[in-house]
Amino acid sequence: MRAHRRSERRQAHIIGGVTTSSPTALALEALEQWPKHRPLAALVSGPGAGTWSRRSIFAEPVETRLVRIPAGLDASSANRPLQHELRALLRRTPAVPSAHNGWIASISYNFGRVLEPKAHSEGGAMDDRDWPVAMLCWCPDALVLDHLTGAWTVVGDPSRVPSLPLLREAPVSDDRAPFSVGPLEPFVDRVMFEASVARCIELIHAGELFQANIARRISAPFHGSTRALAARAFAASGAWFGAYIEADPGRTIISMSPELFLSVDAATRRVVTRPIKGTRPEHTAPRELADSAKDAAELAMIVDLMRNDLGRVSEIGSVRVDSARQIETHPTVHHAVAEVSGTLRPDVDTTALLAATFPPGSVTGAPKIRAMQIIDELEPVQRGPYCGATGLFAGDGSVALNVSIRTIALSGRGHNESPAELDGTLDYWAGCGIVAESKPEDEWLESVAKTAVLMKAIAPSDD
């Protein structure tokens, strides 16, 4: 391990020091200044997360892999071949292994349908966007911004990293945004959403399950720079676990997630998950959320689920609840958050960890399989990247994945010569945890609150 660290230090080249610009401003500036002809995969940290999200990473993918269900197979038959494909990819090691290079990836919620074939219903949600099961960008060379010190370093080969004016002190301006978003249209209107919530509550009272996360999708025409949209989105959200991936011409993901799904320390094999359950708009007092017995019950159920998931792959006796519930304030909302951890068994690799825990329990429900079946019955369209996981499978064996909530999925016609340009459709989802005490009208209002960050991103002048 010591030799590995010496090798990494030799290849981590400091290219700048602290400036008076905030690290967040520097990260957004780097996003917008990335060369237009070079594709980009980036993990962009927001302020306030401390050790959980200290660094932002910018890289040009050397290779992109789109993982799909093999032709001729359905989801129920694809488990073994897809796990085999992912395992082979995730075992790849960069020439200079680091915690800040490797695969920057998005794992679709639909991977859960592959891992657990019973988790979808007959004639359930339709696939109208054709998102891959996973999109992986191989990034052995990267620019890394330390938000604590404001310093930039290069990991890997410096000649493969763009030379950018990253350290100038000009602020990022909101008026540099060459994109347009058409009228937002919900696929499911308020009446339909509240009816789905009411049906879920009926099933809970009937003893079918304890909780399910029910979401709705809104869409709009999109034209222009996805990077400019991402810069606005990260500025508006302050996302602790932000991600931006140009994985394929015509497909881009912008995740403004505040939620950590999995963090794995390669040295100690300690795995941490931080589920969120319970949300209030930022204009309300945090005490309102803290005092809510209904929201506390939601989180307690998911904590129990995540304990069970981690217990499937952790050493006996190592799983613990580090924090049962605390209130965190993020831009636009307050959240109730827990923390659960464990120590992975020696025989467990990253693919096995995903198989045991995916999709994240906070965006499915309890029990997980029945909740996923009901989601498939009540949501008319498949989620794609939403409620999956986005982040880094690092070269040194560590893992950092968000829960892909607050996520924009862009699809349409791309441009090979300018990877950030896209003409097509913007999709965004808002979901709510439904329990026996839920009220359909309240869940609708919560879903509206969760779209506030999107509205800030596409119309910042209205703030």
Tokens of 22: 């905030």
Mean pLDDT of 90-112: 96
pLDDT category at 12 given cuts 50, 70, 90 is low
Q: Pick 40 or 175 by higher pLDDT.
A: 40
pTM comes to: 0.91
Q: How does pLDDT run across 361-402, given as a tens digit for each residue? A: 999 999 999 999 999 999 999 999 999 999 999 999 999 999
Percentage of the residues of the chain whose pLDDT score is greater than 90: 73
pLDDT at 169 over 90: no
Give the chain's mean pLDDT. Answer: 89
Residue with the larger pLDDT of the pair 320 and 173: 320
Give residue 245's Cα distance to chain centre. 11
Per-residue pLDDT tens over the stretch 149-167: 888 999 999 989 887 654 4
The residue type of 145 is L
Domains of the chain (ranges, CATH numbers):
2-462 (3.60.120.10)
pLDDT at 64 over 70: yes
Contact 65, 138 (CB under 8 A): yes
Q: CA-to-CA distance for 104 and 244, rounded, in angstroms?
A: 9
Over range 235-251, report the average pLDDT.
92
Whether pLDDT at 271 is above 60: yes
Is pLDDT at 46 greater than 60 in this prediction? yes
18, pLDDT greater than 60: no
What is the 3-state composition of the chain as percent helix, strand, coil, each rounded to the nearest 5?
30, 35, 35
Higher pLDDT, 65 or 280: 65
CB within 8 A of 425, min separation 6: which ones? 129, 219, 220, 221, 222, 410, 411, 412
Q: Are 410 and 252 in contact (CB under 8 A)?
A: yes
Q: What is the pLDDT of residues 179-231, one digit of tens each?
A: 999 999 999 999 999 999 999 999 999 999 999 999 999 999 999 999 999 99
Q: Work out the average pLDDT over 398-420.
A: 95
pLDDT at 145: 92
Q: Which of 278, 385, 388 is nearest to 333 (CA)?
A: 278
Tell me the pLDDT band of 434, cut-offs 50, 70 and 90.
very high
Strand partners for 226:
none
Provide the phi-psi class of 198: left if phi over 0, else alpha when psi is between -120 and 50, else beta: alpha
> Which tens digit of pLDDT belongs to each residue from 337-346?
999 999 999 9
Q: What pLDDT score does 388 carry? A: 98
